[in-house]
Amino acid sequence: MNFLCSDGGGYGTGQGNGDLSELITTNSHGFIVVVIQYRLGAFGFLSSAELAQYGVPNAGLYDQQFSLEWVQKYISSFGGDPTRVTISGESAGGGAVMLQAIANGGTLGTSLFSNAIVASPYLPMQWDYNGIAPSQSYYSFAQAAGCLGLGLPNGAGVNESVFSCLQQADTRVLQNASAYVSAGGKYGQWAFLPVTDGKFLPKRPSEQLLAGQVNGLRILSGVSIFLLYASELVVESSCIYKIVPIPRKILVHSPVSFCVLTSF
């Protein structure tokens, strides 16, 4: 089995450097683990009508899909079986796994993976790519990067789009602008999030799941329970169990963090 893992972090922070050796050894080296990296913040989830005209919304989700395509093409070189791939993630990583399960309108079947495991999946409001919230974040980002309005250091000229100005900006300026705007998101959220773009995500999850338009065969989903005692964070080992009534085998069980899993 091949296990592909994606980290959480609200689509705004995170890193794929977790040590999964215990998971591997506990299961007698029965599967190959692939840990992926994908673009975050404005680099992965900047969106607006202008960006959609010149670029691609949901770039971070495309990064994840590219990693799944890589697994299909090369995992056999590592002794893996491309027909037995499981993807997994926690928090935003879990939400991303669920979005991969409805990617491209659920038309991919089992071409990229068969199973999914999600732990405490983070699924915030999914706006249209040109909706008010992502558009506000886009222009706030442009302003923070000096690309909004004449007279600013890198301000877009009369015949220049904000997007082209951003393309020319120094990467450190963009990183700082992304962090600054991300921190100004609504409580419990980041400013740059997946959007309904009509292509990768043609509909909201609530619509597609009810219609049974999903990729893969099975989903195992769990929710971690966090309890606060005397300023010390304790993770309760028990989980919430529930059967989700959609026309696929979906089971809610214990948690695991987007990983790719495939068999030998």
Domain carrying residue 209: 2-39+56-123+195-262
Residue 204 lies in a domain: yes
The pLDDT assigned to 111 comes to 97
Residue 161 lies in a domain: no
CATH of the domain at 73: 3.40.50.1820
Report yes or no: 181 and 139 within 8 Å, Cβ to Cβ.
no
One-character DSSP codes across 140-168: HHHHHTT-SSTTSTT---TT--HHHHHHH
Report yes or no: 85 and 260 within 8 Å, Cβ to Cβ.
yes
Higher pLDDT, 123 or 186: 123
Q: What is the pLDDT of residues 144-180, one digit of tens each?
A: 999 987 444 554 454 468 999 999 999 999 999 999 9
The pLDDT assigned to 231 comes to 35
DSSP character at residue 178: H
Residue 134 lies in a domain: no
Q: What is the pLDDT of residues 76-122, one digit of tens each?
A: 999 899 999 999 888 888 899 999 999 999 999 999 999 999 988 88
The pLDDT assigned to 68 comes to 95
Residue 141 lies in a domain: no
The pLDDT assigned to 251 comes to 31
Residue 136 lies in a domain: no
Catalytic residue check, 21: no
Residue 176 lies in a domain: no
Average model confidence (pLDDT) for the chain?
A: 80
List Cβ neighbours of 180 (8 Å cut-off, separation of 6 or more).
144
Do strands 85-90 and 249-252 pair parallel, antiparallel, or not at all (unpaired)?
unpaired
Q: What is the pLDDT of residues 20-43, one digit of tens each?
A: 777 778 877 778 888 888 999 999
| Average pLDDT of the segment spanning 4-28 | 74
Higher pLDDT, 264 or 69: 69
How many structural domains are present in the chain? 1
In the set 47, 88, 91, 221, the catalytic residue is 91
| Average pLDDT of the segment spanning 183-198 | 86
Residue 182 lies in a domain: no
Residue 154 lies in a domain: no
